[in-house]
Amino acid sequence: MSAERPQDTPNGAAESTVLGKRVDRRRALSVLIGGMAAAAGAASACSPLSAMTDEEKEAKRLAWREYIKGNYRTMTEAERAETIARLEHLAKVKQGTDVTIQSTGAQPGVVFGYAFNISKCQGFRSCVEACINENNLDRRAATQYIRIFEMEDGVIDLDHADATFQHEVPAEGHFYLGTQCFQCADPPCVKVCPVGATWQEPDGITVVDYDWCIGCRYCMAACPYWARRFNWSAPEVPAAEVNPNQHYLGNRARKVGVVEKCTFCIHRTRQGRLPACVEACPTGARVFGNLLDPKSEIRWVLANKRVFRLRRI
């Protein structure tokens, strides 16, 4: 099965011009609006400023700066560096973890794609576990980006598939099909977002700005592959298990009330590494690579194997 192939000229560039507006005006106004919200917030906080330690005050100040910041796409490089510094500091204050958050952009001449070999997958779900650890997924809600469906041999029928199997695998007479975000070429989730908090990057990865998302969940209704997850409560990852290698648009700490999704491990793949699920798969059922590179494995698979797209619409 091949992945949805992003357009060769991704609409990421067009998107940023749509969003490209004078930042100064937006920022001035956001301070104004934010001020009103802050007054309400301060009233409910009930802890007098004087009783706070300097560290608490600093954390409050940083949280406030975080609240009034703009959409990631409209930020200048300097603003991006500032918010990353704040987020790293807040991670240290809140959980005592030393994290590094990158803002590595899409590499030129790269569009990612992936393929899943239904003949090879044995249903071990090593990929699921690797994904949870790599992407700092909420342990309490047991959030998972990847779903492995067990089906009877002969026909691909998701309606009669089992994604919650709890028995020894591979089961006799069954095969396995994995789903996750396929990074659609023309993502229906991106189109519907009322605030432009989710978009497709030039390398084909659809990302979410967790701090811009308002949590309306329209994108979840629009996704044909059920690939998006919502933080129904504050996500929890034990400090010892936090993966400190993070990306602003990827596996950094999420908050309650926002949507998240698979990003092809954006923090790894933009540095030339494989996604965690691909690396973890013991059977080699997952193939990942640059669709624009004629010498890549994914291109060889697409050219030489019988492949199909998993269509749900």
Partner 1 sequence: MHLKPFALSALQLATSGGRRYHLWMGSLTLLMLVGAYAYSVQLRYGLGVTGMNDHVSWGLYISNFTFLVGLAAAAMMLVLPAYILHDVDFSRAVLMAEAVAVAALVMCLAFVVVDIGNPLSGWHLIPGIGYLNWPRSLLAWDVLVLNGYLLLNLAIPFYILYSRFSGRQPSKKRYLPWMYVAVMWAVSIHLVTAFLLAGLPARPFWNTALLGPRFLASAFTAGPAFVILLLGLIRKETTYVISEGAFSKLALITTVAAQINLVMLGSELFYKFYSPTHHGINARYLFFGLDGHNALVPWIWTAIALNTVATVALMIHPIRRSHRWLMMACAVLFVGIWVEKGIGLVVPGFVPSPLGEIVEYTPSLVELGVTAGVWALGMFVLTVLVRVALPIELGEVRSPYIQEERVERIVRPRGTRPQRRDDRPVRTR
How do 245-247 and 100-102 pair as beta strands?
parallel
CA dist., res. 250 & res. 265, Å (int):
7
Give Rg (Cα) of the chain.
21
Is 311 a binding residue for partner 1 by CB under 8 A? The answer is: no
Q: Is 221 in the site for partner 1 (CB under 8 A)?
A: yes
Buried b (16+ CB within 10 A) or exposed e, 84-100: bebbbebbeeeeebebe
CB closer to partner 1, 21 vs 89: 21
CB of 173 to partner 1, least distance (A): 19
With CB under 8 A as the contact rule, which of the stretches 79-87, 110-118, 186-194, 241-249 interacts with partner 1? 186-194
Paired with 176 in beta bridges are 150
Residue 185 or 301: the one with the smaller Cβ distance to partner 1 is 185
Q: Which of 147, 247, 254, 286 binds partner 1 (CB under 8 A)?
A: 147
Cα-to-chain-centroid distance, residue 59: 26
| C-beta atoms surrounding 303 within 10 Å | 9
Least distance (Å) from partner 1 to the CB of residue 300?
29
For residue 266, the Cα-to-chain-centroid distance in whole angstroms is 8
85 sits near partner 1 (criterion: CB under 8 A): no
- Number of chain residues interacting with partner 1 (CB under 8 A): 59
Considering beta carbons, is residue 143 or 263 the nearer one to partner 1? 143
Residue 219 Cβ, how far from partner 1 at the closest point, in Å? 9
Query: Which one, of 134, 163, 170, 133, lies nearest residue 285 by Cα?
Result: 170
Give the residue with the Cβ less far from partner 1, 232 or 300.
Answer: 232
CB 159 within 8 A of CB 149: no
Under 8 Å between Cβ of 260 and 208: yes
- Considering only residues 24 to 43 of the shown chain, the ones binding partner 1 according to CB under 8 A are 25-26, 29-30, 32-34, 37, 41
Distance of CA 255 to CAs 57, 188, 223, 252, Å?
21, 24, 21, 10
Q: Answer yes or no whether residue 74 interacts with partner 1 by CB under 8 A.
A: yes
Which residues contact partner 1 (rule: CB under 8 A)? 19, 25-26, 29-30, 32-34, 37, 41, 67, 71, 74, 141, 147, 149, 157-161, 163, 179, 188, 191-197, 212-218, 220-226, 228-234, 255-259, 312-313
